[in-house]
Amino acid sequence: MNATMKNAPEREEIESLLPWYAAGTLSRRDTARVEDALANDAELARRFEMVREELGETIIVNESLGAPSARAMKALFEKIDVEPARKPAVSFNLMGRLSEFMSSFTPRTLAYAGGVAVLALVLQAGVITNLVSERSGQAPGLASAPITAPVQGVQAMVRFAPQASAAEITAFLSANNAMVIGSTADGNFRLLVPGKGDASEIVKKLSANKVVSSVLPVTK
Amino acid sequence: MQQTSDEVLIQRIAGGDRLAMQVLFARHHVRVYRFVLRLVRNESTAEDLISEVFLDVWRQAGRFEGRSAVSTWLLAIGRFKALSALRGRKEAELDDEVAEAIEDVSDTPEVAMQKKDTSGVLRKCIEMLTPEHREIIDLVYYHEKSVEEVAEIVGIPENTVKTRMFYARKKLAESLKAAGIERGWP
């Protein structure tokens, strides 16, 4: 008897998890428990081989069932055709659309962009702290934020190119001193370029960048 | 190349995007069909049912909350549709179909054993499990569903999932033993 298999109920519990361990659908914690037990229990390891055989043959049995004919898809879309027309969602679900947009990037790209964003926030916090210190001549303390007027500038609806990376978009926003202030149901993003620049010139400049596939001016 | 996630497709379907529906159908229809086919044992019925399953997705996409995987949701709908279809059939029809399923042209476990085809025997024994046991074996081994997901699809507590899987495997071992393959378990 080893340290892992202290009692029969624990052993039974671990054994009951073997099918899910074989299929790779256990939680990380349970996976570690099973692996620990398998390494120290030869009989359990033998039974795990049985589970693996069952898994392999179950896949073969299911794969031999074939596939449905094209009739199924045809029937589905015939039924969809007679469904009542659906209005596109008009809710301003910015998080949902941002989630969709961000899901198009690879994890590495997102990690890189996240790192850049954190760095930018830290730098910005540093700059603000310095400014406050310089102006007040003392260490920053708690204070109510002053009420500021809405930022004036040119607004445009932008659709980013599907292949544009998060880093490229960040660089694009930075280069144009632009910020995302909203989005629409069809995947467009509303940008604000602060200042009193000429709208057509700004739209033209934004359009010239390869990270966007379309830019439309927004008339207020 | 990264795929659009199932959750994003469901979001688009909720907005009436037919292309997203095509992508989701292409991605999942074969597995849903096989799961349903194993329950209803009739190819034509299974085809009808999968179009019903995906039509439900079209109608209910806006209500999908993403608390479970889309594939789990599809299998749960498929199971409900299949069981409803089975309940709606006449007893006589059901008996005929079960008889057809039993009149399989492939070898029985005993014949397969005589041919020393142990993998074939195991497959035959899997096919001969009761629908309840076969369902759980398929969900765990083929559809790669976790304990929690199986519980959600079948509508039973998680502990019952583990117990049912244990008895399904025990029954499988007994069938193998009866066919001449002793595995020393249970």
B41: left (phi over 0), alpha (psi -120 to 50) or beta: left
Residue pointed to by tokens 């142990």: B118
The answer to whether the CB atoms of B127 and A61 lie below 8 A apart is: yes
Tell me how many residue pairs between chain A and chain B have CB atoms under 8 A apart: 124
From chain B, the residues in CB contact with A24 under 8 A are 144
| Rounded distance between C-alpha atoms, residue B65 and residue B11, angstroms | 10
Residue pointed to by tokens 């055989």: A53
How many Cβ atoms are within 10 Å of A35's Cβ, its own excluded? 13
Kindly tell me if the per-residue pLDDT of A96 is higher than 60: no
Run of H or E including A147 = none
Contact of A148 with A181, CB cutoff 8 Å: no
Of B5, B21, B172, the CB nearest to A54: B172
Of B46, B55, B146, the CB nearest to A76: B55
| Rounded distance between C-alpha atoms, residue B156 and residue B167, angstroms | 15
* Local confidence band at A146 (pLDDT 50, 70, 90 cut-offs): very low
pLDDT, one tens digit per residue, over A32-85 is 999 999 999 999 999 999 999 999 999 999 999 999 999 999 999 999 999 887
The answer to whether the CB atoms of B141 and A86 lie below 8 A apart is: no
pLDDT, one tens digit per residue, over A129-144 is 666 566 555 544 444 4
**B183 in A contact zone (CB under 8 Å):** yes
CA quadruple B59, B65, B70, B76: dihedral, nearest 10:
-70
Contact of A35 with A14, CB cutoff 8 Å: no
Amino acid code (one letter) for A64: S
Name the 3-class secondary structure at A31: helix
The answer to whether the CB atoms of A58 and B142 lie below 8 A apart is: yes
The answer to whether the CB atoms of A80 and B122 lie below 8 A apart is: no
Q: How many CA atoms lie within 13 A of A32 on its CB side?
A: 2
